[in-house]
Structure 1
């Protein structure tokens, strides 16, 4: 039984899966600034309402990033705290890979999938995956322009999705650039689906050393000097 958390963006979600892949429960909140105040409550609710206790869990999975610095820090620290308290292993899942898992079954084999998470200005966090979920281009922070993905678009249909795709659509006008009408947001549902495979393969994180995959350093502004 795997409990999965995703706080990579403004979405805060928790899911519980059985060993055979059945989804027992999933709570998702789409309001701003929910992760820090609601996450532990959602964890307790999803486990209790499914008829189990935290002691019944086999592992804790968390979306490790990329994404919001604050959101990732909250999700990973909560997951690590649960693992320490319950003596359970930790599984880290790339947020972009979990987003791809949501839609890949809807596209043919020659299609490439590019999940995008909004960063600053014209920048996105993105990666490119084959239709079978294997990685074609690794995760990166990319400033979009009209030459982005030109080589891939020349040979393949490429589906761009996620909140960062809103920036890409006016720029990527190649006929092979596809943009789904439905929103695709990070979710613990598919973090859990990938975590089940990782659990079966024994792919666990070092609980002491594990950190979120921030991809970029946290940027802040200096406070203005007081006048007078």
Structure 2
């Protein structure tokens, strides 16, 4: 199985290839440089893995939530490749990719994982995940809400991670909620974990046609506001 993955929803930009159980990847924390970086990154991982684009089984992308422009970059590139190569797409949540990274790299098997991404306007994108046989599973839905609302939604022991927790550190930790057992900083979604989750999704038959690929913003009026302004972030 060969899957190309791209992730550009936050300050981090990355590309990866899943090739028969091995993952090759490139990652850079480079705000506002994604359009310049992502195509060379894709070429680099394809070359390193010795995979031709025509040999890909699917193309995976970080579907959001995240920055409006960043999410659109990944969706647009993935759709273009899928149409040109006649390949299926697999959309992976950016929050799930973050949670999977922490599950794989930290001792958090017994804790819920709550990634949060800064959504601006004093809000965060967040979801609650648990571990099921070594892979994260979403509990309920993903949301956009204020950090204070997020605190009220949680009670069971958890590991929190992501820029949303760091950005609103004072608002969150001044209350010292006892259910936060562990905090992991400097976590951004990575194509490495998009690729890993996409491989499992592919085996479950969760591919889609290029025309069906859509970004996930969570905040319903984001696209409308951007269209009215005629600009990008």
- TM tier, shorter chain? 0.7 to 0.9
Q: Rg: which structure is higher?
A: 1
Please say if 1:18 is aligned against 2:19: yes
Partner of 2:61: helix, strand, or coil? strand
Query: Does the CA-based 8 Å contact 2:46-2:52 persist in structure 1?
Result: yes
Name the TM-score, length of structure 2 as normaliser. 0.86
Provide the C-alpha distance between the structure 1 equivalents of 2:229 and 2:41, rounded to a whole number of angstroms: 35
Partner of 1:183: helix, strand, or coil? coil
| 1:150-206 deviation line (CA, Å, top 9, x unaligned) | 3532xx212111111113432332122145354211000000011001111111123
The counterpart of 2:199, out of the listed 196, 211, 215, is: 196
Query: Does the CA-based 8 Å contact 2:64-2:71 persist in structure 1?
Result: yes
Partner of 2:207: helix, strand, or coil? coil
Q: Greater shift after overlay, 87-96 or 212-221?
A: 212-221
Q: 1:10 to 1:114 in 2, by over 3 A?
A: same
Residue ranges of structure 1 left out of the alignment (5+ in a row): 224-228
Q: CA deviation at 1:134?
A: 1.9
Q: CA RMSD in A?
A: 1.9
Residue aligning to 1:226: none
What stretches of structure 1 move > 6 A for 4+ residues in a row?
Answer: none
Partner of 1:102: helix, strand, or coil? helix
Q: 1:181 to 1:110 in 2, by over 3 A?
A: closer
Q: 1:174 to 1:187 in 2, by over 3 A?
A: same
Residue aligning to 1:101: 100
Residue aligning to 2:29: 30
Q: Greater shift after overlay, 199-208 or 56-65?
A: 199-208
Provide the C-alpha distance between the structure 2 equivalents of 1:222 and 1:135, rounded to a whole number of angstroms: 34
Instruction: Say how many residue pairs are matched.
Output: 218
Query: Does the CA-based 8 Å contact 1:4-1:191 persist in structure 2?
Result: yes
Name the TM-score, length of structure 1 as normaliser. 0.88
